Amino acid sequence: MGGYRGGVPLSPHLPELSALELLVDTARTGSIGAAARIHGISQQAASARLRGVEALVGAPLLLRSPRGSRLTESGTVLVEWAARLIDVAAEVDQGIATLRADRSERLRVAASMTVAEHLLPRWLITVRARQQTAGRSPTAVTLTATNSDRVAEAVRSGEADLGFVEGPTVPAGLRAQDVARDELVVVVAPSHPWTRRRAPLTAQELAATALVAREEGSGTRRVLEEALAAKGLRLTVPAVELTTSTGVREAVRAGSAPAVLSRLAAEGDLGAGRLAAVPVADLDLSRRLRAVWAGSSTPPAGAARDLLAVARSC
């Protein structure tokens, strides 16, 4: 996740998302015409689009017959991949809806970068689905994504109804509830000498190294600092400070220095071998992700309650 290499656009063989949706719906319904109706286009247009997809892919995907269409073997695999892609696209879609600023009645959420990037879109999809199955109309949500400090401020000042933060302590003046756990990992470029270590890193070594770090006020940075402080250590002045985990990842991949990142943010790059994780011996880098709200001691009602419930169950 989030490891887009940049500079290498996707090949022109990748069909458009809408065309893939059409294919998936054709597979589901067993009929091109039915899928066309779902998408609000004519059967002919759908047929042409799907032929276009087949031409792009370079393999037959559908077995057309006078009483419907079935998938070929290649089609089956492609539909499976496409469904996954569309799921992620739906998350982004949901996320985009939260960025739109033109609503009046809405749930205003402020979240730390880590939560906003990696968890919220999925939560929102689930909340929406649950509200719809419960027969309620889905709530409009607006999202502000900053660092944990500013999330706390936004909630305190009433700019946001609900916040999500990381960090070892509950922000002053707010009520909180744990919703998930996360863990920080030390990551380096695959070419970095630390990847060839036998023994795990010690807290002392880590503290003595100039890292690529997030700015002060970020939950990631604070957790690291407090974990080191618990060992009587202080963080060396960072080599670079950046405000996004993308920036941090890119700097690490460029080989400059190690970094400490949320596992959520690093996962994709670790899996793909673009980054390597370095175990740390004597440091507790797990952290809680908390929902926070102002005012009463009980969790908020309405849509905020729904979101909180979904977040806790994931």
Q: Single out the residue of 107, 117, 149, 218 in contact with its own copies (rule: CB under 8 A).
A: 117
Q: How far apart are CA 170 and CA 173, in angstroms?
A: 8
With respect to DNA, which residue has the nearer C-beta, 131 or 246? 246
The listed partner (its own copies, DNA, none) that binds 51, CB under 5 to 8 Å by sort, is DNA
| Minimum CB distance to its own copies, residue 84 (Å) | 4
The listed partner (DNA, its own copies, none) that binds 32, CB under 5 to 8 Å by sort, is DNA
210 binds DNA (CB under 7 A): no
- Please give the residues from 255 up to 294 whose contact with its own copies meets the rule CB under 8 A: 268, 271-274
The listed partner (DNA, its own copies, none) that binds 90, CB under 5 to 8 Å by sort, is its own copies
- Please give the residues from 59 up to 98 whose contact with DNA meets the rule CB under 7 A: 64-69
Q: Single out the residue of 116, 141, 186, 227 in contact with its own copies (rule: CB under 8 A).
A: 116
Site map 158..197 versus its own copies, x via CB under 8 A: ----------------------------------------
The listed partner (its own copies, DNA, none) that binds 105, CB under 5 to 8 Å by sort, is none
CB 232, CB 279: distance < 8 Å: no
- Please give the residues from 10 up to 49 whose contact with DNA meets the rule CB under 7 A: 16, 18, 26, 31-34, 40-45, 47-49
With respect to its own copies, which residue has the nearer C-beta, 121 or 175? 121
φ/ψ region of 7 (left if φ > 0, alpha if ψ in -120 to 50, else beta) reads: left
The listed partner (its own copies, DNA, none) that binds 239, CB under 5 to 8 Å by sort, is none
| Minimum CB distance to its own copies, residue 127 (Å) | 10
With respect to its own copies, which residue has the nearer C-beta, 59 or 208? 59
| Minimum CB distance to DNA, residue 39 (Å) | 8
Beta bridge partners of 148: none
- Please give the residues from 23 up to 52 whose contact with its own copies meets the rule CB under 8 A: 24-25, 27-28, 38-39
User: What string of H, E and C letters represents the secondary structure of the chain?
Assistant: CCCCCCCCCCCCCCCCHHHHHHHHHHHHHCCHHHHHHHHCCCHHHHHHHHHHHHHHHCCCCEEEECCEEEECHHHHHHHHHHHHHHHHHHHHHHHHHHHCCCCCCCEEEEEEHHHHHHCHHHHHHHHHHHHHHCCCCCCCEEEEEECHHHHHHHHHCCCCCEEEEECCCCCCCCEEEEEEEEEEEEEECCCCHHHHCCCCECHHHHHHCCCEEECCCCHHHHHHHHHHHCCCCCCCCCCEEECCHHHHHHHHHCCCCCEEEEHHHHHHHHHCCCCEEECECCCCCEEEEEEEECCCCCCCCHHHHHHHHHHHCC
In the complex, the residues that contact DNA under the rule CB under 7 A are: 16, 18, 26, 31-34, 40-45, 47-52, 64-69
